[in-house]
């Protein structure tokens, strides 16, 4: 424990000393003598009452001293100093969803999870990009969580129904599930500083959901998109419901997607069903939370509870004794 205004204690002690000295120096009160007063003071009842009075008077003095000491300590502002290492909450998250036909149920589950998470975010920014043969930014990185929740709700409804204008703009290219182009578009969604470098104050994550069934010739290969993510300090967390265990050969699609995600410092998950999405997203959130910690900070907190509590008890005792001493 530390005292912010420690100098109050010696001042209080000096004030008490001056008051005691003045009390001793004051003139004695005039006393009126009564004839044969010893007959009264010798009575057992009088002696008993006198002992009780003196005991209560001593208790009152002790409680008064405790009260003064406790209030002086509280006025000196006792504090507790500790060191904490808070979690950084200034993360940027881009949902990168492959909206080819086999992915709609998984995408809807991801949108539903982040729809709920958006209401709990504090400092994070979230954006969303959808792709098939071409990419469309559904909404940019934002910390307007009400807006993000509205957009995610609309996305979930459209993905559940599988129809509507939601998918417009994702079929402008040739082929389907052009994963490299989609991932590159998502990585480019993160803003850079004025000198073109990533903002070191914010962590960057892409949640990539794709069945990994490439059909066509993308501009960016998956490996090139992964290299772009590394250059921009973006972690890729890949969710793949299409990994049907073709083996661990380097040329297998699942192995390549896993390698790309892990090279960026991210993670790779296979999905047995859309119901597994909430648990996987939670793991991604935990990974991000433990990966970014702020520098240790000294925290000073006031701790006046115990001196004020003692003062309250002592004051209550003084009131009770004052009532008992009242003739």
pLDDT given at position 311: 84
Q: How far is CA 153 from CA 49, 207, 244, 245, in A?
A: 81, 18, 30, 33
Phi, psi values for residue 268, rounded to 5°? -135, 135
Torsion sign across C-alpha atoms 40, 44, 46, 51: positive
Looking at the predicted structure, is the pLDDT value of residue 77 above 80? yes
More confident residue, 326 or 145: 145
More confident residue, 200 or 157: 157
Least confident of 57-61, 156-160, 273-277: 273-277
Whether the model clears a pTM of 0.75, i.e. scores above it, the answer is: no
Q: How far is CA 113 from CA 155, 204, 208, 277, in A?
A: 12, 19, 14, 8
pLDDT given at position 291: 63
Residue written as token pair 């975010």: 121
**CA gap 294, 300 in Å, rounded:** 17
Give the rounded percent of residues in the chain with a pLDDT score beyond 70: 89
Sorting pLDDT into bands at 50, 70 and 90, what band is 216? confident
Looking at the predicted structure, is the pLDDT value of residue 27 above 70? no
């Amino acid at each position: 424990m530390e005292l912010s205004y420690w100098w109050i204690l010696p001042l209080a002690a000096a004030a008490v000393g001056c008051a005691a000295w003045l009390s001793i120096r004051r003139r004695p009160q005039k006393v009126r003598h009564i004839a044969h007063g010893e007959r009264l003071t010798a009575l057992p009842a009088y002696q008993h009452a006198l002992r009780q009075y003196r005991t209560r008077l001593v208790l009152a003095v002790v409680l008064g001293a405790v009260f003064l000491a406790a209030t002086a300590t509280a006025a000196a502002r006792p504090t507790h100093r500790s060191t904490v290492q808070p979690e950084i909450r200034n993360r940027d998250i881009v949902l990168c969803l492959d909206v080819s036909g086999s992915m709609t149920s998984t995408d809807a589950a991801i949108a539903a999870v982040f729809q709920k998470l958006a209401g709990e975010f504090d400092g994070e920014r979230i954006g969303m990009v959808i792709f098939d043969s071409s990419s469309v930014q559904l909404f940019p990185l934002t910390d307007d969580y009400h807006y993000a929740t509205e957009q995610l709700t609309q996305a979930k409804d459209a993905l559940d129904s599988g129809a509507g204008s939601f998918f417009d703009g994702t079929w402008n290219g040739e082929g389907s599930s052009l994963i490299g182009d989609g991932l590159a578009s998502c990585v480019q969604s993160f803003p850079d500083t004025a000198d073109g470098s990533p903002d070191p104050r914010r962590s960057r994550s892409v949640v990539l959901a794709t069945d990994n069934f490439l059909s066509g010739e993308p501009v960016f290969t998956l490996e090139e998109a992964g290299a772009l993510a590394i250059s921009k300090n973006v972690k890729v967390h890949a969710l793949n419901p299409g990994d049907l265990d073709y083996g661990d050969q380097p040329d297998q699609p699942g192995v390549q997607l896993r390698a790309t995600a892990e090279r960026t410092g991210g993670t790779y998950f296979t999905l047995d069903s859309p119901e597994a999405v909430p648990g996987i997203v939670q793991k991604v959130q935990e990974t991000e939370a433990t990966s970014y910690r702020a520098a240790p900070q000294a925290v000073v907190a006031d701790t006046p509870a115990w001196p004020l509590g003692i003062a309250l008890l002592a004051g209550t005792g003084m009131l009770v004794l004052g009532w008992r001493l009242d003739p």
